Amino acid sequence: MNIWEYANPRRFTAVIDRLLPVLVPMAAICLTCALFWGFFLTPDDYRQGSTVKIIYLHVPAALMAINAWIMMLIASLIWLIRRHHVSALLAKSAAHVGIVFTLVALLTGAIWGKPMWGTYWAWDPRLTSFLILFLFYLGYLALWSAIEDPDSAADLTSVLCMVGSVFALLSRYAVNFWNQGLHQGASLSLDKEEHVSDVFWQPLVLSIAGFVLLFIVLVLVLTRSEIRMRRAIALMKRIPSR
Amino acid sequence: MIPDLGKYALPVLAAYGGSILLYVGLIVLVIRKNRAAKRALNLAEAQVEKKSTALA
């Protein structure tokens, strides 16, 4: 079985049609359980009080904002190297979803920051690199809308995506690069000493799983819509005008 | 039913409210786009079929 067979739009949409009935209920169950568990059943933190409940929204959103861009980078590289249209459409769809995750991460971070740091915003390395990542998302989507020819748009946005990847990685590792700044270190780590307590960690992992599934579902549905729309346009062009 | 959020009730509820609003908005937009694309494809396919039948 060759993986590139799925670059065929018809085969790709057939796979999406088969995956969605499984992924949608999984995402709904994971998110409902995680947010209920996190909001209603976890205790307050001894230092941060009830604001710790924001972690179940903020961390998954921030994680997905960065990972969406990494996924766009991989899809863009596939487009540039192999010219598969599905990969370009996947990157475009991931940007539409990724920008909302980035906005949620910035919004929840600011709301969480006010009671903890005394300010909604600080020019901290992690916050600043995240804001730049958000601006890159805006620029990426604006570029897709600005160029009429889909292949040229895919080429240019792929290049922009590669440039923006620097900030996606910077957002992820800014805490390790610079020690100054208000933002704390990573909430999850393979080193048990470093990450949050088990009582917060378990619903957080479930919440991350739920948001990952939600992201996959939305990207697949959007990609299928883009494929259908392109096919519709191609068919309409084939009909001779009177 | 709502747990006692103490003095941080406003920021916690604002974070949940704002995030849920954004996610629901995104889901609604995705569903609408999906329906529009499906409708456009069905329409295009029907027109192509109509045209080919007329030519035959």
Distances (CA, A) of A56 to A191, A206, A213, B26: 20, 9, 15, 19
Residue A148 in 3-state DSSP?
coil
Half-sphere exposure of B53 (CA within 13 A, CB side): 6
Interface-testing mutation among A229, A241, A242, with chain B (most B C-beta atoms within 10 A): A229
What does the pLDDT read at residue B54?
Answer: 83
Helix intervals (H) in chain A: 9-36, 55-82, 85-117, 125-146, 150-177, 198-238
Is the CB of B48 less than 8 angstroms away from the CB of A238? yes
| Three-state secondary structure call for residue A8 | coil
Question: Are B12 and B5 spatial neighbours (Cβ–Cβ below 8 Å)?
Answer: yes
Find the radius of gyration of the CA atoms of chain B. Answer: 23
Rounded to the nearest 10 degrees, how much is the dihedral formed by the CA atoms of A19, A21, A26, A32?
Answer: 140
One-letter-per-residue 3-state SS of A70-103: HHHHHHHHHHHHHCCHHHHHHHHHHHHHHHHHHH
Torsion of CA A60, B27, A53, B14, to 10 degrees: 130
Q: Which residue type sits at A69?
A: W
Say whether A111 and B16 touch across the interface (CB within 8 A): no
Q: What is the pLDDT along chain A (242 residues), one digit of tens a residue?
A: 677 777 888 899 999 999 999 999 999 999 999 999 999 998 888 888 889 999 999 999 999 999 999 999 999 999 999 999 999 999 999 999 999 999 999 999 999 999 988 889 988 888 888 899 999 999 999 999 999 999 999 999 999 999 989 878 877 776 666 666 666 666 666 555 556 777 788 999 999 999 999 999 999 999 999 999 999 999 888 776 65
Q: Phi and psi at residue A160, in whole multiples of 5°?
A: -60, -40
Q: Two tokens at A70?
A: 């990494």
Check residue A238 and give its pLDDT: 79
Out of A107, A111, A229, name the one closest to residue B40 (CB). Answer: A229
Q: Which of B11, B26, B38 sits opposite A51 (nearest CB)?
A: B11
Tell me the CB-side half-sphere exposure of residue A197, using CA atoms within 13 A. Answer: 9
Q: Is A108 on the interface with B (CB under 8 A)?
A: yes
> Number of CB pairs < 8 Å for A and B?
104
pLDDT (tens digit, 9 = 90+) per residue, B1-50?
Answer: 678 888 899 999 999 999 999 999 999 999 999 999 999 999 999 988 88
